[in-house]
Structure 1
Amino acid sequence: MGVNENKEIVNRFINEFVNEGNEAVADQLLTEDYVRYDPDAPSGAQGAGEFKEMIRMFGEAFPDSEVKIEEMIGEGDLVVFRGTETGTHEGEFVGHEPTGETFEITGLAMHRVRDGQIAETWANWDMLGMMQQLGIVPTPEELTELSD
């Protein structure tokens, strides 16, 4: 497959699975041995089933969440994008009750596409920034105020 086809696969994965929650698309577009590397994942890596469960849980906590691809670059079997994610905290998230607060964070993700499917992902999103925007984790300014 060419770079443009690989970019379309990643674009479809983000729009139809991550944003819309269509797990049939994930089943179609992720290889059987898919691995997602993410410092925010409990073990640092996730298989397809664990990633689908994370997206399910995230969708329950942030039903209006959306990843917008800002820029996408492809070379060989790799597709990288820089994106923005937004959402409103309306359900339980990692043990925290809904705050009703919104967030907007940035992130990067690199995907390796093999034979029309995504085989690997390396992702890094500003989860600390999200937790601060939701009021779950204090910002540096709030910490300074507390110490005064």
Structure 2
Amino acid sequence: MTTEANKAVVQAFYDAINRREFDLLAQYCHSDLKFYHQMDTPHHGVEGFVASEKQNFDAFDDWTMPIVELIAEGDKVAAYLVFQGIHSGLHQGVPATGKKLRFSLLMLLTLKDGKIIEKRAHFDRMDIRNQLA
């Protein structure tokens, strides 16, 4: 696939997330998807990705996570996003604070056969904790 086609898959994937249409994500993900959430221990499959992310999304009201920029080369797509939401539920052991959270994320996605096969998330956990303190 072309880099533009790969970017379109990633855009559609994040558009579905922002619409909270988690049931649509499988159509953008390879059956062998591995999601690395900051560390080198992956979550496997789209179900693992949704389960790990949904608990985060459930802790914030009115969240948005738009793509600010997409850059692609070969089978790789880098997505720069900004997450915003009101902390309304338990998040990583921190009870709801009612505070607005805003932080940036950088995702590196690898595509195979027109679908996302690997997703690596990079963000500043301490920034998140400091904002919720």
TM-score by length of 1: 0.81
Alignment counterpart, residue 41 of structure 2, candidates 31, 39, 44: 44
Structure 1, unaligned runs of 5 or more: 136-148
Which structure is higher in RCO with an 8 Å CA cutoff and minimum separation 6? 2
Q: What is the distance in 1 between the residues matched to 2:12 and 2:51?
A: 19
- Which residue does the alignment assign to 2:6? 6
Q: Which moved more, 1:19-28 or 1:115-124?
A: 19-28
Runs (4+) of structure 1 exceeding 3 A deviation are none
Deviations 1:55-104 (A, max 9, x none): 22122101322212122111111111222111110111123221000111
Q: What is the distance in 2 between the residues matched to 1:100 and 1:34?
A: 34
Q: How does 1:73-92 map to 2 (within 5 A)?
A: 73-92=71-90
- Tell me how large the CA RMSD over aligned residues is: 1.5
Deviations 1:28-74 (A, max 9, x none): 1111110012226xx73211222101222122101322212122111
Q: Which has a greater percent of strand?
A: 2
- Rg: which structure is higher? 1
Q: How does 1:1-148 map to 2 (within 5 A)?
A: 1-17=1-17, 19-39=18-38, 44-47=41-44, 48-135=46-133
TM-score by length of 2: 0.90
Q: Tell me if structure 2 keeps the 8 A contact 1:21–1:56.
A: no
Identical pairs, percent = 27
